[in-house]
Chains A and B, each alone.
Chain A
Amino acid sequence: MIDVENLSVRFRDIEAVKSVSFRVPHGGSLGIVGESGSGKSTILRALAGLNADWTGRMAVDGVPLVPRRDRAFFRRVQMVFQDPYGSLHPRQTVDQALSEPLAVHGIPDGEARVRRALDEVALPGTIRFRYPHQLSGGQRQRVAIARALMTEPEVLLLDEPTSALDVSVQAEILNLLADLQRRRDLTSIMVSHNLAVVAHLCPTIAVMQLGEIVEMLSTDDLRAGRTTHPHTTALRALSVELQES
């Protein structure tokens, strides 16, 4: 479903992503882990069409991606960002935020769709006319996810979707994402610095360091400690040491 070949992204003299290649099959989900500056979010942004300055080859469902995407692309590929407070318009109600993608893409039947979307992310109908500042962090992230799903995309790009949340809320959002993935047959890529979070949602994991994918492995291999690159081994050791006492 998603094919990336020799993708490179430069910011002036810095090569943030260095000739990265990977594939995500239809209905699959790939996790990308790495530290700040490793290039993981840059890949996602290039894929989402938020950064036109890249070289290489990218395709979604066999259709090659060009730097400037058309409207159909944004209908099929949606993104959820780390901080829902930053990604939701402060002066738009939940209802407006969810209706906007429908208006942009000329999707009819708004009223019913908004209600269904709230239902799907387990938000009560009572929050429909509230503003982002009147919601909790978890509710805001649910709104952001609902908004991404409004256009019924086939691909969902998740950039640290739970890093700004409390751990109990993180669990709820991770369950919701796992559930949506199954129900909607979504193809997804999730970026996070938290190995355990990525392993929970994705069966395959790409480990990045300094702009390169240094290892691609299955979550089972990661859990069992069958890592080959020292950076993966170190990240895994740290996750096990600090989080499991």
Chain B
Amino acid sequence: MLVEIDNLSIAFPTPTGLSHAVRGVSLRIGAQKLGIVGESGSGKSLTARSLLRLLPESAKLTADRLTFDGIDILRANERTMRDIRGKRAGLILQDPKYALNPVMTAGDQIAEAWRAHKKGSRREAMQKAVDLLDQVRIRDPARVARAYPHELSGGMGQRVMIAMMLAPDPEMLIADEPTSALDATVQADILRLIEDLVSRRGMALVLISHDLPLVSHFCDDVVVMYAGRIVERLRAADLSRAEHPYTRGLLNCLPALSRPQPSLPVMVRDPAWLA
């Protein structure tokens, strides 16, 4: 499985002309753990969502090439896209409070995801849902399967969403800020869980986040996006050797326990980064 993106651009019409949100992004994603890092508005989520063609209707998408395992996403019909969305590439969203259906039990939602792609009986789907909840290390899976989203903590809700995405056995997992709404300790647990599942199932992972050190901790490769472009690509292990001033700025402006400083370095944005 290989995702190829060549010269991807995404723009939105505004009263004053097109606003370019993603500009000329090229990427190859194989069976690896890739982190896409950037701040609000850098285009990181749009880039990842374009793989599933899940963009706002007004978005103008162009690319020299945009393929998922050889399938041309730019020209694929909706039926083909449905075979990719969920089934071959799962999308984990930021906040389980909004992403889960509030009037369906956790088990029903996971079972629905399984049945939609695997075709089986209701009873089989429910068994599978409990089994998946067990795989995402929920202690009492049968009880949680009967629970509604509001009865679950943020961490549990996120595990439910991961279970739902794993149901069709996808080859790729796209996690869009999967832990930003969670506490630090829960955050680490969820990322370790994702990492473990991804390596055990041999899936590709695209982890989108604004947290550069965190992403580097869990990914093999990192691309840093700024104003719709990739400004730096590096191996996660080489983070300390990042060269682009924006990447360096992202790292330096974080307060750290081990280095007290009277004031934090502030990012000075060079207009040349936009060029």
Contact = CB atoms under 8 A, between A and B. Distances in A.
A126 interface: no
A166 interface: yes
10 contacts: A168-B39, A171-B265, A175-B263, A195-B184, A196-B254, A242-B188, A242-B217, A243-B257, A245-B213, A245-B216
A196 B257 contact: yes
Interface residues of B, number: 34
A119 B254 CA distance: 25
Interface in B168-201: 183-186, 188
Contact of B210 (A167, A197, A236, A239): A167
Given A168-B253, A171-B267, A195-B257, A242 B214 contact: yes
Contacts of A241: 217
Nearest to A197: B255
A166 B261 CA distance: 20
A194 B255 CA distance: 10
A242 B261 CA distance: 19
B154 A166 contact: no
A171 to B, nearest CB: 4
Interface in B249-266: 249-250, 253-258, 260-266
B40 A196 contact: no
A244 B256 contact: yes
Contacts of A172: 266
A144 interface: no
B211 interface: yes
Contacts of B249: 168
Contacts of A239: 184, 257
Interface in A226-245: 234-236, 238-245
B257 A223 contact: yes
A195 B256 CA distance: 9
A193 interface: yes
Interface in B191-249: 210-214, 216-217, 239-240, 249
Contact of A196 (B186, B255, B263, B267): B255
A131 B205 CA distance: 39
Interface string A72-107: 000000000000000000000000000000000000
Interface of B: 39-40, 153-154, 183-186, 188, 210-214, 216-217, 239-240, 249-250, 253-258, 260-267
B185 A238 contact: yes
Contacts of A238: 184-185, 188
B40 A171 contact: no
A157 interface: no
Given A195-B257, A242-B184, A243-B254, 20 more contacts: A36-B153, A36-B183, A167-B212, A168-B249, A171-B266, A174-B264, A196-B255, A196-B256, A219-B260, A223-B257, A223-B258, A223-B260, A235-B185, A238-B184, A238-B188, A242-B214, A243-B213, A243-B256, A244-B213, A245-B217
A66 interface: no
Nearest to B214: A242
A29 to B, nearest CB: 14
A61 interface: no
Contacts of A169: 39
Given A172-B266, A223-B258, A245-B240, A167 B253 contact: yes
B263 A178 contact: yes
Interface string A192-220: 01111101100000000000000000010
A175 B213 contact: no
A222 interface: yes
A234 B185 CA distance: 9
A35 interface: yes
Nearest to B186: A35
Contacts of A193: 183-184
B66 to A, nearest CB: 28
Contact of B253 (A170, A195, A234): A170
Given A167-B250, A178-B263, A242-B217, A199 B255 contact: yes
Contact of B264 (A194, A200, A244, A245): A200
